[in-house]
Amino acid sequence: MFLVLFIFKRESNMKHLLFLLSIGLATSAVAQFGSTLTFESYDLDLDTFLNGQDTNVLNEECFHWECEYDTSFGGYWASGVAVSTMRDDSTGQFTNLYSSKAGSGRQSESYGVVSASTETFLNVSENCYGWEAGIRWMGGYVSNASYTYYSMLNGDQFAKKFGGAAGDDPDYLFIRFNFYDYMGGENNSAADSHFDFYLADFRFEDNSQDYILDDWTFVELNDFPAYEHGGHRVSMQLFSSDTGAFGINTPAYFCLDDLMFSYASGLISERDASSIQIAVKDDSFEITSEMRSSAVLISLDGNILTSSKDDTHHTLPTASLPQGVYIVQITSGDAVTSQKVFRW
């Protein structure tokens, strides 16, 4: 089995981060390509949404998912993932189901709103290139929905104020990501693995550490070798400390953007002593390797931002790029490897 060894070093000014990656460069390569769910393909007007009234199956790139609209009682969004460009970050009522507390998508207008009182699934289509090689979920961005945020902050007629009157109640709201595989066409009845991420957490002994997220936050779903998650579909469900006979009382909605997976198209069977260093500077990623290589900087939505070819040192400019997560793809001979790099 081929392993990538990560060694992290903070420099004294706390702005530079050095990744030392022991990377095997052999004739049999690991090439990671995938897809990112941005919700941009629907090209919605501002302050509008898709909630399943027209179709209950939505798709983008390699993803497809359900969005159910129930026509009973005049009609309402019943479950699934809606697509939204709503910008109301101040109304904490049921009438404002489709807005992120962040006020927009992450660096875009569109984003997903997840109804998550029970498991809500996103699926990777079988006809996507590389599907049979296996899926590695990389990460994505989440935020609280405005309705959920203000319910936790202030309480409402159905749900409590997080922390209680004195602020001491150990309340929480977290997303559980469950990862399923259906290789061979059969859905497994149990998740292969899961990952929990807290949208609000009041369990700290020091109340000043309690928080309710009010902006987009990256969820790291692959921190190899500490953990990684595979599977051809992922479910999302909310769990809250404020729970009653009919489930959680906290509004079960959160927002999602730029969810990314990669394919693993092969395994490196041999490796040599070569290493590649990626230094994160204020205005560039600096890459040094013992062997000549090419380097490409790719955004999470798959766009090539810059590249450098056939050298042992590469400077990939980042001054014009926002803070966030990027992919550095390095090629040497027939070997290709991709690594996530954070720009601070």
Q: Give the pLDDT confidence score for residue 182 in this predicted structure.
A: 64
Please, how many CA atoms are within 13 Å of residue 145, restricted to the half-sphere of its CB?
33
Q: Does residue 184 or residue 134 have the better pLDDT? A: 134
3-state secondary structure 211-266: EECCCCEEEECCECCCECEECCEEEEEEEECCEECCEECCCCEEEEEEEEEEEECC
pLDDT level of residue 300 (50, 70, 90 thresholds): confident
Phi-psi region of 134 (alpha: psi -120 to 50; beta: other; left: phi over 0): left
Q: Give the pLDDT confidence score for residue 217 in this predicted structure.
A: 94
Give residue-wise pLDDT tens across range 154-200: 999 999 999 999 999 999 999 999 998 765 444 445 667 899 999 99
Across the chain, mean pLDDT equals: 82
Alpha carbon distance 136, 34 (integer Å): 9
Is 304 in contact with 298 (CB distance < 8 Å)?
yes
Q: Give the pLDDT confidence score for residue 2 in this predicted structure.
A: 29
pLDDT level of residue 292 (50, 70, 90 thresholds): confident
Q: Per-residue pLDDT averaged across 252-278, rounded?
A: 66
Q: Give the pLDDT confidence score for residue 12 in this predicted structure.
A: 33
Q: Give the pLDDT confidence score for residue 9 in this predicted structure.
A: 30
Q: Give the pLDDT confidence score for residue 127 in this predicted structure.
A: 79
Q: Give the pLDDT confidence score for residue 14 in this predicted structure.
A: 34
pLDDT level of residue 224 (50, 70, 90 thresholds): low
Q: Where are the domains of the chain?
A: 5-31+267-343, 35-264
Alpha carbon distance 97, 94 (integer Å): 6
CA-CA-CA-CA torsion sign (286, 289, 292, 298): negative
In the numeric block, the tokens 């919605």 are attached to 44
Q: Does residue 16 or residue 171 have the better pLDDT? A: 171
Instruction: Please tell me whether residue 210 adopts helix, strand or coil conformation.
Output: coil
5-31+267-343 to CATH, choices 2.60.40.3500, 3.40.50.300, 3.40.50.10470, 2.60.40.3080: 2.60.40.3080
Q: Which two tokens stand for residue 130?
A: 């590389």
Q: Per-residue pLDDT averaged across 209-233, rounded?
A: 86
CATH topology of domain 35-264: Jelly Rolls (2.60.120)
Angle, alpha carbons 90-95-101 (nearest 5°): 30
Q: Give the pLDDT confidence score for residue 15 in this predicted structure.
A: 36
Q: Per-residue pLDDT averaged across 109-114, rounded?
A: 98
